[in-house]
Amino acid sequence: MSGVGDAPGDGEVVLRAEGVGMRFGGFAALSGVDLTVRAGERLGLIGPNGSGKSTFTNCLAGVYPGHEGAFAFRGERLGKLSPHERARRGLARTFQLPRPFRGLTVIENIRVPLAYAGRHEATETRAMACLEGVDLAGKAHRLPRELTQVELRRLELARATALDPVLLIADEAMAGLSHAEVDQILALLFRLNEAGTTIIMIEHVMRAVTEFSQRLAVLVAGRKVADGAPREVLAMPAVEEAYLGR
């Protein structure tokens, strides 16, 4: 399958994963995964529970430096770069369970990553702009425990995108949200993508992932079994079987 379909497929390659694998003890959670992502793309990375999506994300983010294979990000081999060094190069992720600093206000939660990255210039203004981008400016001085679930997801997105990442991996940003809340997060992700951020969406909410993605890559039991235009991928027997558990 060609992969990129009629998406902006001729853009610069932002990410190239080659033969990525990860073992936990004797168990291969991920095996031989190749993936190419181009600038501006909206890619859905799907697969049943336990198929390796988060493991792939953790390998890419630098959490598992002992993985097999290699990543090149904007042409640079990531090698043993730490998660922090990868973030500085424009790689961002959200976590399945938002992890705000519970003792800090909403705006302080954004100022911390900005300061950590050495962006001391006007961090207050920049942090407020980030919150405006996710419609949370009105809650800037609240504590995370005062936020609703969808507001926490929006804060997580603001935290992840405060440094203007080149590539954002949104890992189950919509789990447990209502239909209307899923639409809120989708709208934010579309907005980020329109502003130039390449996005990999890892999601079980199929309505959202099919609406969002120009391309789908499917993992089953740690291997990539499909990669291409959503309609074609979802019609593939291997994908149907994986989802129907046959």
From residue 175 to residue 204, what is the string marking binding to ligand ATP with x (rule CB under 6 A)? ------------------------------
Residue 94 binds ligand ATP, judged by CB under 6 A:
no
**How far apart are CB 225 and ligand ATP at their closest, in Å?**
13
Which residue of 40, 47, 98, 100 would you call a contact of ligand ATP, by CB under 6 A?
47
**How far apart are CB 87 and ligand ATP at their closest, in Å?**
20
Which residue of 14, 15, 29, 186 would you call a contact of ligand ATP, by CB under 6 A?
29
Which residue of 14, 33, 44, 54 would you call a contact of ligand ATP, by CB under 6 A?
54
Which of 139, 147, 153, 149 minimizes the C-alpha distance to 185? 153
- Please give the Cα distance from 110 to 155 (Å, whole number): 8
- Please give the Cα distance from 91 to 237 (Å, whole number): 33
CB nearer to ligand ATP: give 92 or 242.
Answer: 242
- Please give the Cα distance from 244 to 15 (Å, whole number): 31
**How far apart are CB 143 and ligand ATP at their closest, in Å?**
28
Where does this chain touch ligand ATP (CB under 6 A) — which range of 43-51, 72-80, 133-141, 224-232? 43-51
**How far apart are CB 34 and ligand ATP at their closest, in Å?**
17
Q: What are phi and psi of 238, to 5 degrees?
A: -65, -35
Residue 125 binds ligand ATP, judged by CB under 6 A:
no
- Please give the Cα distance from 55 to 40 (Å, whole number): 23
Residue 24 binds ligand ATP, judged by CB under 6 A:
yes
**Cβ atoms of 44 and 35 closer than 8 Å:** no
Looking at this protein, which amino acid is placed at residue 192? L
Number of helices (H), then strands (E), belonging to the chain: the values are 9, 10
Residue 53 binds ligand ATP, judged by CB under 6 A:
yes
Residue 51 binds ligand ATP, judged by CB under 6 A:
yes
Looking at this protein, which amino acid is placed at residue 5? G
Which residue of 6, 26, 49, 118 would you call a contact of ligand ATP, by CB under 6 A?
49
The residues, any chain, with a CB within 8 Å of residue 152's CB and separated by 6 or more, are: 98, 100, 144
- Please give the Cα distance from 187 to 71 (Å, whole number): 29
CB nearer to ligand ATP: give 23 or 74.
Answer: 23
Which of 104, 114, 224 minimizes the C-alpha distance to 160? 114
Q: Which residues bind ligand ATP (CB under 6 A)?
A: 24, 29, 47, 49-55
